[in-house]
Structure 1
């Protein structure tokens, strides 16, 4: 169990890659689920003509880039009786999609590229950020021992009761100026960013957080839409640059990640809280050591928050939530940008 949790807290290493097509083994499938990957199981048989057509369609979709980020497992229908029983599969030529440990869809007999792509779009590729966070939460709940999940949920509830976000900066207030280094040591300032247009400023906890990873990836997918509205997106985290550079490169992000040493900027926005001792012990057991990732002994984190700042420096959109499974939806950000005159 500890190993499983360590994996789910890791960076989604396969995100953004070309698709993977491998033969099914119980261990590899389990690892992909624990990694929070987008998975397609293809139950096939060598004697099945429908399966052969499906293989050709999948190969063609793969060449066109339509399967990017999906891990496909070819399951031998005649040999994997245990998996068939577990998943209640009664026919070859069956597709089952998973987001982590959560099944998102299944279909039997699809053969055309169009039909297979529509199935994948609906159940894996076109999942909204809200969909992904919901599925991650369900997958996460399956991975975490109940007693530890209870401590984590109680910590979130205590934050809610504390009304921490009541004191966070709100719409209409001025955003504090800042100058922070990006992943490669370049200084980035709000003043200079605002010269180019409105700024989307998002705070996240760290690369160890799968919900943060899903958020960054979703924002990357919407980056061109943000840019068409003249906006610059920057992410802020208390993690050290050697870790943010890994995140930046692995996720192929087209926006800066800035290191907020000691959560100083997050504190100015009213977003910082201290990790309680009981949660600190659980994090350490899961392999998350904030002292190492942040380079200080404080064990502080920002609550998830996203702001849209107009060129005048005024906040025109603010999302803050003590629940780490919630994030600002890209469409809400676009709506805020559309309202700028």
Structure 2
């Protein structure tokens, strides 16, 4: 089939991360057209439209010679990114997008074509939370051997919050910063049961399957896993760091507490640990995306963290 592909246009967050990688990122971006040509020949694909969203890859739709829809993902050359192919291969579609093939030399994956993400569903956050928790419960069934490693994310997140706040000129409200560091200390050193955690199960990483199938509870699956062995409350906390626009007013703290209680009831995780992880992740994410230039994306995370106090 024709290897011709549409012009490569990176998503805004991906462009920011490419710039942050410097020369390595620039070489990756310059080589993308040739990489796509190689992948089209390898998998006998005709290219479709790029997929919106994402922050660490170029994702584009494609079609096989037999007419099957696929998605190709070419991952940034960033050593901090997890080997998601390991997790997807072990999951075999249970809780996760199906992996059809991979091209390790290009850090590229040939994936099942999915529908819209959960964050576009016209529903309230509580409904979306229940959907995402159901998918997480399926994804957590992976055996420990499928993990990409073991992790206590708390010390890394704590150090990142301190360093990025300093590097950015200390934009974080002092009470917000102190609370985030206290939360990191509170959740560090978890010695209880662990799961193969997704690591970033925000609503944009929960997508609808095109056809009902086993392993997709309610018709939804996860994409972009980190796949480390971790405290299950960590995954739930990451999920609850979002919905910043719903956490602005005087009832912000009560609302997030309610969501934490719902999540704890659904998963068996401790509600106080979920709250602490959610607050730490909210501050960490706001500073992280601001640090590579996306301050407009990062600011609502920090503002909502202040509202929670």
Q: TM-score, normalised by structure 1?
A: 0.29
Higher strand share: 1
- TM-score (structure 2 length as normaliser): 0.31
Larger helix proportion, structure 1 or 2?
A: 2
